[in-house]
Structure 1
Amino acid sequence: MFLGIDIGTGSSKAVLADADGHLLDSEVVAHEVSYPRPGWAEFDAEGTGWTEVARLCRALFDRHDAGAVAGVCVSAMGPSLVVTDEDLVPLRPAILYGIDSRAGAEIAQLTEEFGAEAIFADSGKALSSQAVGPKIRWLRNHEPELFARARRWHSLSSYILAKLTGEFVLDHHTASQCDPLYDLRHNQWHPGRYAAVAGHLPQPRLAWPAEVSGTVNAGAAQATGLPAGVPVCAGTVDAWAEAFSAGVRHPGDLMLMYGSTMFFVQVLGQFRAEPRLWTTAGVDPGSLTLAAGMSTSGSLTTWLQRLFGDTPFETLVAEAAAVRPGSDGLLLLPYFAGERTPVFDPDARGLIAGLSLRHGRGHLFRAAYEGIGFGIRQILEYLENAGEPIRRVVAVGGGTKARLWTEIVSDITGREQIVPEQTIGASYGDALMAAIGTGAVSAATEWARTAAIVKPEPGTAAVYAQLYATYGQLYPSNREHLHVLAALQEPESG
């Protein structure tokens, strides 16, 4: 058996799979991240993350023989920053990925220090809240005594790897989101920037995500029930593990992940970069990807459901399905939590345009799906213009269960979407990495099987083309007004 574990934003999941990709068992435990201040997002790497890994393992091994586990791989939300002492004890909660925006001043500082063009040339992207380097600099600037006591820095997945094996290893994909420390063109730590940003902290050894990087040690065996000596692969960031699980591994493949946010990963054939996108290392050795993300998608439909008095989700979907394409002239800009790609504006806000007394909740719910769909179409165009032709779109995530949503997206974008049979996500991709890394299956093995293909309805193309043109003007025409309104939403000081 192969054990895959993923620590996500809302839960930790573990799966056991055999070498043919058959899911043998799974276990999930819910958790929450912490938002101690505006713009901060944190997670307890040891008390929650490591504790849940041990709990998930124990639950699975109550039902299965742990002695049959032939390999382990762990992914996690990221890139995140965990700093520890010499005994691997975290000195503070993990600082999470792009949703933690505390290091704005440090982004500007590092950009001025190294030069925006030089960073972009080596990293394939501009510095943003997604990057780890500014978070490390933030620790040096704001918690200097704590930073002086730190002896190692980790991502969340590499911290779990260290707990399991004692090894200090970071995978190439996560490292490629640690800008400006990593040289993406040469897949190595940048010789001129690492010490300037990380100071006395040593460089983690680099490995590809499916590469065996250590074995379960005695302490981890006691905590988890895993046998000592089981190989453990390096692991990676959850979205890329999920793309791997869905067979998004070849140039032109694109993963479209429907969740509380929307995330995109496209596999590249060669190095390409675009300022509004993120170029990163991929999962397979030497591979490259382009990525993008929207700040609000499924969370918007959840908000609407609450707004409508917790009406059953199925009822709202049925009412939305009864509304004709275009929502009878209703258009929604889905920037309810700011926006990442393509505007990168934390002060952008949502907008509902065209409201009339004849519109009901079905119109609003459909308009939400359509607004997200227009945002997806924009990003797909950016990806294709900056990268390479999109050959295949694979839809994953919990949102794929709402067939109406995927149908609307296909209608708006004019693209087919493949929905895999197994949608459990990143932990399933981790199990495949463990099977590949240990040599149980070949490096080219894919477990993804198609469950459905969603095709666009040609009859909707004209109305969606007209609305898409208007959608493209909503943000630029209203940007300054939205910023004024966003400022009024800031909590009063004190």
Structure 2
Amino acid sequence: MTTTTATLSSPSSSSVPRRSVFLGVDVGTGSARAGLFDEIGKLLGSASSPIQIWKEGDCVEQSSTDIWLAICTAVKRALSISDIAGEQVTGMGFAATCSLVAVDSEGQPVSVSWSGDTRRNVIVWMDHRAVKQAERINSCNSPVLQHYGGSISPEMKPPKLLWVKENLPESWSMTWRWMDLSDWLSYRATGDDTRSLQMFCKWTYLGHAQMQHIDENSSGDMETHRWDDGFWEEIGLRDLVDGHHSKIGRSVAFAGHSLGNGLSPDAAKELGLLAGTPVGTSLIDAHAGGVGVMESVPDSKANESDDDDDDDAICRRMVLVCGTSTCHMAISKSKLFIPGVWGPFWSAMVPEYWLTIAGQSATGSLLDYIVDNHVASSHLANRAASENISLFQMLNDLVAQMMRDMETPFVAALTADLHILPDFHGNRSPIADPNAKGMICGLSLDTSDRQLALQYYATVQGLAYGTRHIIEHCNEHGHKIDTLLASGGLSKNALFIQEHADIIGCPIILPRESESVLLGAAILGAVAAKKYSGIRGAMKALNAAGQVIHPSEDPRVKKYHDAKYQIFRQLYEQQLSQRAIMADALS
């Protein structure tokens, strides 16, 4: 039985006529969520519904049928608790994880699983089954790889497609369309197979080559002439070139482009909305988070400069979308190629800007792993439940209590003897090593609640050192990042955000509305409904700043983190040395 969770914001006044309402849908790793926003970007109400996931070794799979049903449940629930009729929704947009969907000529699911289960037709973004295929593709040294930091990740689409062809030939021959999950959602809703320029990011589509002359406010729809056919042939996927790329996308558009005739009658009925409701071209969930937060700056900053300075200011910001993984995104007016970092991708998030994407493959999932696999976890979880707080709030409280009890000069000093390299699911950026492993230095036989809190805290710091490494690397290659904006579930964790501010040395702006991915998806609908001239205009109208977290001014804290950061960087070098020793022993 499907269950839902919901939140509701109080309307300012029931007597005030309702303004336009924009619906955003976000499919994450564990749930589908729906949120309704007004014309100033205020959340009116949201709901979520869980989705099923299968994990077997490196294979992680989902069902597009299950995902769509969860979306319908979440949308109807959000409408109900917000007291909004479906006819009042002005426009809608979809965001989702960058997972891969396989469907046949009738739009029915095709299995991508060893099990042959036809429900399991989605290879989830975090799936690492295609590591060997990625290594083979990277050995080709194709020119397209320059947009992926020099090497493609097993989390991207070409390695996964090659894996299916080599291991599941029947599924390969049956599949009529291979789609990004977010593109499949908009296709399922409208019947329009126009894809988003986000395909540049995961599929090797060269979005800039033929699209730069198209204005954001035009349709942006065109025949796709900038797939690099030679790349697909070289890696063994020539059959994707045949048929004029019909299996991977013939036409593309800017995010927020109005698709087809809007919601189809069938989809409208399933969602509880009006047929013909405008639907915008979709975005990857992290990119939607960027759209939902990047202009969330305090009024003093937003009003202090002219348009040229404004363009420069937005290019000094980096967005952190922190959830199961963390995506780090920055934009620029010029092409910046950065080793080990994805991009630049033209107009893949904000139209007419180049997008740089770095990331950590495991953040929230790593914190869960560290906590769940400690002997004190169940005891601490029971304590948290009895006090009606989250387990992570309990851990944060324990860290604060330990500082008081141990009389340390500042809280970070608690981890002086505990160092963690957080690459438990490989390193996405900036080292781009999917074979990297996590490391913990400083363990003892202590099994207490407090020791668990210290391991959790050191992991938070390790993740922040990883983000510092990413920012330093990007700035060394042309970016000028000096401000961070954070969204996603982990942005609600005060300890997580403060440690990032202290370790990186930048202020971190939190948005007024915490559901930035849902807001970004809703912005796609607002643009599709022609309520705003384009994505950037909608961002300025609907984004709003909340709290600003500043780094510690205590010079001892900076000195401490500089020292721990040096150790953090050394841990990976030690791992490489150990790998070489063992490779020699096995040769």
* TM-score relative to the length of structure 2: 0.76
State the secondary structure of the residue aligned to 2:564.
helix
What CA distance in whole angstroms lies between the structure 2 residues aligned with 1:8 and 1:485? 38
Deviations along 1:334-374, one digit per CA (max 9) or x if unpaired, are: 22333322333344333222446898344333222222221
Change (3 A) 1:167 1:330: same
State the secondary structure of the residue aligned to 2:203.
coil
Aligned to 1:445: 538
Shift of the alpha carbon at 1:453?
A: 0.9
Asked if residue 192 in structure 1 is aligned to residue 217 in structure 2, the reply is no
Aligned to 1:433: 524
Asked if residue 49 in structure 1 is aligned to residue 67 in structure 2, the reply is yes
Aligned to 1:490: none
Contact 1:9 1:32 in 2 (8 A): no
Shift of the alpha carbon at 1:441?
A: 2.6
Q: 1:334 aligns with which of 391, 414, 422?
A: 422
Shift of the alpha carbon at 1:97?
A: 5.2
What CA distance in whole angstroms lies between the structure 1 residues aligned with 2:57 and 2:287? 28
Bigger mean CA offset, 51-60 vs 285-294: 51-60
Q: 2:169 aligns with which of 144, 147, 154?
A: 144
Contact 2:488 2:517 in 1 (8 A): no
Shift of the alpha carbon at 1:41?
A: 1.6
Contact 2:318 2:484 in 1 (8 A): yes
Q: 1:257 aligns with which of 305, 317, 321?
A: 321
Aligned to 2:10: none
Aligned to 1:467: 564
Q: 1:454 aligns with which of 549, 574, 584?
A: 549
Shift of the alpha carbon at 1:296?
A: 2.7
Aligned to 1:120: 145
Asked if residue 236 in structure 1 is aligned to residue 283 in structure 2, the reply is yes
Change (3 A) 1:352 1:135: closer
Asked if residue 14 in structure 1 is aligned to residue 34 in structure 2, the reply is yes
What CA distance in whole angstroms lies between the structure 1 residues aligned with 2:34 and 2:582? 43
What CA distance in whole angstroms lies between the structure 2 residues aligned with 1:302 and 1:153? 32
What CA distance in whole angstroms lies between the structure 1 residues aligned with 2:412 and 2:147? 44
Q: Where does 1:265-280 land on structure 2 (aligned, <5 Å)? A: 265-279=329-343, 280=345
Change (3 A) 1:325 1:149: closer
Q: 1:292 aligns with which of 342, 358, 361?
A: 358
Contact 1:86 1:152 in 2 (8 A): yes
Q: 1:134 aligns with which of 155, 159, 164?
A: 159
Bigger mean CA offset, 299-308 vs 283-292: 299-308
Q: 1:309 aligns with which of 353, 370, 377?
A: 377
Bigger mean CA offset, 451-460 vs 311-320: 311-320
Q: 1:410 aligns with which of 482, 487, 501?
A: 501
State the secondary structure of the residue aligned to 1:458.
coil
Aligned to 1:221: 268
Shift of the alpha carbon at 1:265?
A: 0.9
What CA distance in whole angstroms lies between the structure 2 residues aligned with 1:399 and 1:172? 28
Asked if residue 349 in structure 1 is aligned to residue 449 in structure 2, the reply is no
What CA distance in whole angstroms lies between the structure 2 residues aligned with 1:434 and 1:52? 20
Aligned to 1:491: none
Shift of the alpha carbon at 1:124?
A: 6.0
Shift of the alpha carbon at 1:185?
A: 4.4
Aligned to 2:189: 164
- Look up the equivalent residue of 1:182 and give its one-letter code: L
Aligned to 1:39: 58
- Look up the equivalent residue of 2:206 and give its one-letter code: Y
Q: Where does 1:347-386 land on structure 2 (aligned, <5 Å)? A: 347-355=435-443, 360-386=451-477
Shift of the alpha carbon at 1:171?
A: 0.2
What CA distance in whole angstroms lies between the structure 2 residues aligned with 1:16 and 1:408? 32
State the secondary structure of the residue aligned to 1:212.
coil
Asked if residue 182 in structure 1 is aligned to residue 234 in structure 2, the reply is no
Shift of the alpha carbon at 1:480?
A: 5.1
Contact 2:42 2:513 in 1 (8 A): no
What CA distance in whole angstroms lies between the structure 1 residues aligned with 2:475 and 2:256? 28
- Look up the equivalent residue of 1:384 and give its one-letter code: N
What CA distance in whole angstroms lies between the structure 2 residues aligned with 1:146 and 1:351? 38
Provide structure 2 residue ranges, at least 5 long, that are not aligned to the other structure: 1-20, 112-119, 212-223, 296-310, 385-391, 404-410
Aligned length: 480
Aligned to 1:393: 484
What CA distance in whole angstroms lies between the structure 2 residues aligned with 1:391 and 1:413? 9
Aligned to 2:302: none
Asked if residue 103 in structure 1 is aligned to residue 130 in structure 2, the reply is yes
RMSD: 2.6
Contact 1:77 1:156 in 2 (8 A): yes
Contact 2:63 2:122 in 1 (8 A): no
* TM-score relative to the length of structure 1: 0.90
